[in-house]
Amino acid sequence: MKQHFWLVQRRGVFYLQDTASGTRTSLETRDRKEAERLFQAKVESLRSPTLGLTLGRAYLAAYDPKLAQRTWADVMTELTSRGRSSTQERYGRAIQSDPMVRLRTRKLLETAAEDLHRILADGKPSTNHFLRRLHNFAVGIGWLPWPVIPAKLWPTIRIKARRGITLQEHQRILEAEGNPERKAYYQLLWETGAAQSDGAALGSTNVDWHQKVLSFQRCKTGEWCRLTIGPSLEELLKGLPSTGFLFPTIAKSTASARSAEFSRRIRLLGLRGVSLHCYRYAWAERALSSGYPERWAQAALGHGSTAVHRAYARSAFAVCPPLEHYGTSPTIGRSSPIP
């Protein structure tokens, strides 16, 4: 029987030569005894895959006794305990989804790529995003000794195209809204492009009437946003409470409750393809159409805002001058060498 592997040495470093494929893998050692041990382990794993897996678990257990017993639930618990409170809430909602519930009791060392691909078959971008983050976190903290799915082999996240709320749709929403507080809240989102949680948390202390500046710290990223108060925004703010929250009732509600109420409103109006978050896209699109500089739009909505990126990327193309402007000159002809 032909030997499958050979141990070779090149420039002092030992390699594992695969006779079937011709590939050569570095053992990353110059010590012959260590190289021979790695070589024998590779040969044994080929002869008896189950034995190789058992030996691997034994070595890993000696390195970290808890490693063989950890499940994905342990990773989820550790991940949801980190970051800002808003981030922890998003992670908490993600681990309650059906795909993640199926993964919770699975041991890390017994997870195969097929297990993760079955979850990714769910097809939702949020599932792909959170599962990838969960997987990379487990690798990063050393609980998962190797990536189950290599970085380049993860399915591409395909997000549905989003658009901003049009002026006509916004006006219809305001006309149909009978609650004065919610009506003012939607108007503030239109004027500022603030995220729904940021807008709901605004208080009188965020308004500097002396400088005519509205400033607040974003719940998601912690970035500061400072907007000059224009005439329309000034008129709106003067009609809101001068102390405490600008929207007292809305500030006490949850993001899910605000989204549900807005969804009910647009459903009654027969509008499609919009959500509260679309007010950010609307602001970015209006900023682009008015010639607002992109760096100011980024400062207003956040430098990592996808709303700014998508709106401004639509016009990010190069208009090339005609080639004849770069033709031959009187001093350089076709036969002249290019210096």
**What's the pLDDT tens digit per position in 53-104?**
555 555 555 556 677 788 999 999 998 888 777 788 888 888 888 888 888 8
Domain boundary among 131, 153, 175: 153
Predicted confidence (pLDDT) per residue in 124-147, tens digit? 788 888 899 999 999 998 888 788
Asked, for residue 335, whether it belongs to a domain, the answer is no
* Measured distance CA(174)–CA(190) in Å, rounded: 11
Asked, for residue 24, whether it belongs to a domain, the answer is yes
pLDDT of 174 > 60? The answer is yes
Pairing, β 207-208 against β 24-26: unpaired
What is the model's pLDDT at position 300? 87
Mean pLDDT of 135-161: 84
43 and 84 in a common domain? no
80 and 125 in a common domain? yes
Asked, for residue 42, whether it belongs to a domain, the answer is yes
Residue-number span of the structural domain to which 9 is assigned: 5-47
Q: Any residues with CB less than 8 A from the CB of 319 and at least 6 apart, and which?
A: none
DSSP state of 159: P
Domain at 287, CATH number: 1.10.443.10
* Measured distance CA(60)–CA(108) in Å, rounded: 12
pLDDT of 335 > 50? The answer is no
What is the model's pLDDT at position 337? 43
Give the CA distances from residue 233 to residues 32, 151, 193, in Å, rounded to whole numbers and listed in that order: 75, 46, 12
Q: Torsions phi, psi of 17, nearest 5?
A: -95, 120
CA 11 from chain centre, in angstroms, equals 44
* Measured distance CA(89)–CA(98) in Å, rounded: 17
248 and 215 in a common domain? yes
Number of domains in the chain: 3
Predicted confidence (pLDDT) per residue in 178-201, tens digit? 999 999 999 999 999 999 999 999
Asked, for residue 334, whether it belongs to a domain, the answer is no
Weakest-pLDDT range from 34-38, 126-130, 235-239: 34-38
- Nearest partner of 281 among 124, 170, 184, judged by Cα: 170
Considering the chain, what percentage of its residues have pLDDT values greater than 70? 84
Cross-sheet strand order for the sheet of 5-10: 5-10, 13-18, 24-26
200 and 138 in a common domain? no
Domain boundary among 118, 153, 188: 153
The mean of the pLDDT values for the chain is: 82
pLDDT of 240 > 70? The answer is yes
